[in-house]
Structure 1
Amino acid sequence: MHANAVPESYVYVTEEGVTRHYADGSVEALAWEDVVEVRVGGPADPRADSGDGREERRGDEEDDVLIVLLSRDGEGCVVPASATDASFLARLRYLPDFDLDRLSSAVEAAADDYVVVWRSPEPPSPLPDFEYD
């Protein structure tokens, strides 16, 4: 009898956000409304610094292109390109002025460094306080 291999990590995409579960039990999650930047790159997680000038990798990401979603406060979710599907790409299209062709080109040309493929426009100014009768 052969058991199915347990994936080292997996990604869930919903209308509310994206969540990545790692084999070690850790989880990264980010709500779509909090995404302010999308980066694409090669072999290193741009948010993890080993202290010696090199960036570290986690788990099964050694040969995969990574799509990194970041929030304004630096929280993020790292999604391997191999784990993306139509629902992930469709949801990215809801980000204001997101260009799927630019994402595709960045994934095809991914190198060790990261390229920003989308940034949120500046947030709108707060609404003035209205007095209600």
Structure 2
Amino acid sequence: MHGNAVPDSYVYVTEEGVTRHYADGSVEALAWEDVVEVRVGGLAPAEGRPDVLIVLLDREGEGCVVPRSATDAGFLARLRYLPDFDLERLSTAVESAGDAYVVVWRSPDPPTQLPDLEYD
């Protein structure tokens, strides 16, 4: 039987936030008002080719990982509402992404120190 393969994950973007559902049933979600940092990097396989990951983090270092292949105009438009978010900087980071993560935006005045997260 041939049919469309079930995606390993899918992403919902709303005015309230971003939610990613994984094939194993796990879910990552983050409200836009809680986003304090945006990172780009970490190439991951997507349909046999690498995909860039955009990571949204909250103050506790929890967040939502959004593959570039799951982004759309709505996601990019919503990022523009983050204070002083630079879509050109995001685009440059996505185009030159490698295994290391690069911070492309940080909240202008986070109330607490953000953890320096390590990525494999």
Same fold (TM over 0.5): yes
TM-score by length of 1: 0.77
C-alpha deviation, 1:18, in angstroms: 0.1
Question: Structure 1 residue 22 and structure 2 residue 22: aligned?
Answer: yes
C-alpha deviation, 1:42, in angstroms: 2.4
C-alpha deviation, 1:4, in angstroms: 2.3
Amino acid at match of 1:79: V
C-alpha deviation, 1:38, in angstroms: 0.1
Question: Structure 1 residue 7 and structure 2 residue 7: aligned?
Answer: yes
For 1:4 and 1:39, how far apart are their aligned partners in 2? 31
**Pairing of 1:25-104 with structure 2 (within 5 A):** 25-43=25-43, 60=46, 63-104=50-91
C-alpha deviation, 1:5, in angstroms: 1.7
C-alpha deviation, 1:123, in angstroms: 4.7
Q: Which runs of 5+ in 2 are unaligned?
A: 112-120
Q: Which runs of 4+ in 1 moved over 2 A?
A: 1-4, 59-62
- What count of residue pairs does the alignment treat as equivalent? 110
Which structure has the highest strand share of the two? Answer: 2
The equivalent residue for 2:104 is 117
Q: Is the 8 A contact 2:18 2:31 kept in 1?
A: yes
Deviation track 1:54-106 (CA, whole Å, cap 9, x = no partner) reads: xxxxx859721000000001110000011100000000000000000000000
For 1:77 and 1:36, how far apart are their aligned partners in 2? 12
Identical columns (%)? 85
> RMSD between aligned alpha carbons?
1.9
Q: Is the 8 A contact 1:66 1:80 kept in 2?
A: yes
For 1:74 and 1:39, how far apart are their aligned partners in 2? 12
TM-score by length of 2: 0.85
The equivalent residue for 1:49 is none
What is the SS of the residue equivalent to 1:97? Answer: coil
What is the SS of the residue equivalent to 2:43? Answer: coil
